[in-house]
Amino acid sequence: MQRYFIETGIETARITGEDARHIGRVMRMKEGEEIVVVAEHTAYICTITAFEGDDVLVQSTGRTITSPELPVHVTVACGLPKGDKLELITQKATELGMYALLPFEAERSIVKWDTKKGAKKQERLQKIAKEAAEQSHRTHIPIIHEPISFKQLVAQMNQFDAIFIADEEDAKAEKRTRFAEKLKNVYDKKSKSILIIFGPEGGIARKESQALLEAGAQTMSLGPRILRAETAPLYALSAISYEFE
């Protein structure tokens, strides 16, 4: 069953824009057919009642679908990577339950955020997150934040209950504390929010790692292999899903 997000309450459910065109012109749906409408983080089974101009009017049947969201909000902070890797991270991390994406300008980030084209790129990433949320039947579209500086990232760390950083030096160590063990402590404390931090290609610089640890972060071991910038967040989200779900 097709799924669409709306920003209003279900009582005034009206689907507009590209979603409305998708229903009428692509799916060629008719009045009386059912779709899933997500309003205020709840998925409702609704009936199409009318086509009004370019808009689609729907009415709730009173039936809802259980939310598949992770029991903890996981924000992924990643150093700006090259190419279209940020798009890949956005799409796949959304499928794996990411709550928000927070790109930051790391010391080893080769690319720089183009402020002139930044708004359009952020809009594209938000669209990718929306489409991935629809495909994976989520009830929350991850928030794609505008890139921030490393200093701003450190300043925002106090907003989270637990913070982990992926440090390749930890992978090289002979003795490592398994990520699963650290997640159990987070689970036992009933934490509501987790921030997981990843560097760009080349990883997190030593002084950045030290600053994050001093601000309250702890390392997470993602195994003995060095993962790519776009792979590490997906590995961590999978581990969190396994532990919490």
H helices present in 76-157, as ranges? 85-95, 115-135, 150-156
When pLDDT is averaged across residues 199-209 and rounded to a whole number, the result is: 93
Residue 147: phi, psi to the nearest 5? -55, 145
Per-residue model confidence (pLDDT) at position 173: 62
Residues 106 and 151: beta-carbon distance below 8 Å: no
Per-residue model confidence (pLDDT) at position 60: 96
Highest mean pLDDT among 90-104, 108-122, 157-171: 90-104
Residues 64 and 55: beta-carbon distance below 8 Å: no
pLDDT, tens digit (0-9, with 9 covering 90-100), for 113-139: 877 778 899 999 999 999 999 999 999
179 or 170, greater pLDDT: 179
When pLDDT is averaged across residues 155-179 and rounded to a whole number, the result is: 82
For the chain, the domains span 3-65, 73-244
Distance CA 101, CA 33 (A): 35
188, pLDDT greater than 90: no
Q: Which residues contact 188 (CB under 8 A, 6 or more apart)?
A: none
Bridge partners, residue 55, by sequence:
52
Distance CA 77, CA 101 (A): 6
Q: Of the candidates 237, 241, 231, 163, which has an alpha carbon nearest to the alpha carbon of residue 197? A: 163
pTM of the model: 0.92
Distance CA 226, CA 53 (A): 54
How many CB atoms sit inside 10 A of residue 85's CB?
18
Distance CA 57, CA 70 (A): 30
Q: What is the CATH number of domain 73-244?
A: 3.40.1280.10
pLDDT, tens digit (0-9, with 9 covering 90-100), for 14-55: 999 999 999 999 999 999 999 999 999 999 999 999 999 999
Per-residue model confidence (pLDDT) at position 174: 64
186 or 152, greater pLDDT: 152
Distance CA 159, CA 152 (A): 12
Question: Domain 3-65 has what CATH class?
Answer: mainly beta
61, pLDDT greater than 70: yes
Per-residue model confidence (pLDDT) at position 6: 96
93, pLDDT greater than 90: yes
Q: Strands 55-65, 14-15: parallel, antiparallel or unpaired by DSSP?
A: antiparallel
When pLDDT is averaged across residues 165-188 and rounded to a whole number, the result is: 78
Sign of the Cα torsion 101, 106, 108, 112 reads positive
